[in-house]
Amino acid sequence: MTARLDRRAFVAALLEDRGDLLVVAGLGSPAWDVTAAGDHERTFPLWGAMGGAAMVGLGLALARPHERVLVVTGDGEQLMGLGALATIGVAAPRNLGLVVLDNQRYGETGGQPSHTAAGVDLAAVGAACGWRAAATVRTPDEVAAGVALARTGEGPVLVVAQVAAEPAPLVLPPRHGPHLVERFRRAVLGPSGAGGAG
């Protein structure tokens, strides 16, 4: 396998100066990577619901059309939820970016090779499903463009980052579900929790 991107460095670049960005962090390593870049009240890390990160992001993007929503997930989770790529392509939320950290492994079940290791191209799937833009980031020289597309491109946009499979130290987000929900709700809707749609 050729050299691949450092996942923590890529996510750090993705979330640098994030401002009011709303972030959904997928199950497992993506949530650790996002937390390593800085725990934030406008991040909603998933501790479960494998395969659901993209659809959570879609719901959030539709509910908050004037705010940028970024989903960060892994190839294993996105492969489990391939239908989400079609649904998002049809819904066409202009404010949604999806980043897939593709290490070609099913990290949550023991590191077995995922289907992307066998040639499944998630960016091509996104393009076939009608996403406005779908790109693969393979080299450090492509990181800045990939980050810009994910953060500001007219959505829905899909960026697949080919990252190394080496494990990184665990940096866990808060684990208490009600706390995460309430923290995120207050960050999005304000102290009363009654703010209207974007």
pLDDT value for 104: 87
Give me the pLDDT at residue 50, please: 86
Give the H or E element holding residue 12.
Answer: helix 7-15
pLDDT tens per residue, range 4-23: 999 999 999 999 999 999 99
Residue 6, CA distances (Å) to 36, 57, 122, 163 in order = 13, 24, 19, 6
pLDDT value for 167? 84
What pTM value is reported for the model?
0.92
Q: Who contacts 105 (Cβ-Cβ below 8 Å, separation ≥6)?
A: 75, 76, 111, 112, 113, 114, 117, 165
| Whole-number pLDDT of residue 1 | 47
Task: Count CA atoms closer than 13 A to 67's CA, side-chain side.
Answer: 23
Residue 110's pLDDT band, with cuts at 50, 70 and 90, is low
The structural domains of the chain, with segments of one domain joined by +, span 7-189
Region 59-69: mean pLDDT is 98
7-189 sits in which CATH class?
Answer: alpha beta
Listed as own residue / partner, the contacts of 115-119 with beta carbons closer than 8 Å and 24 or more positions apart are: 115/75, 115/79, 116/75, 116/79
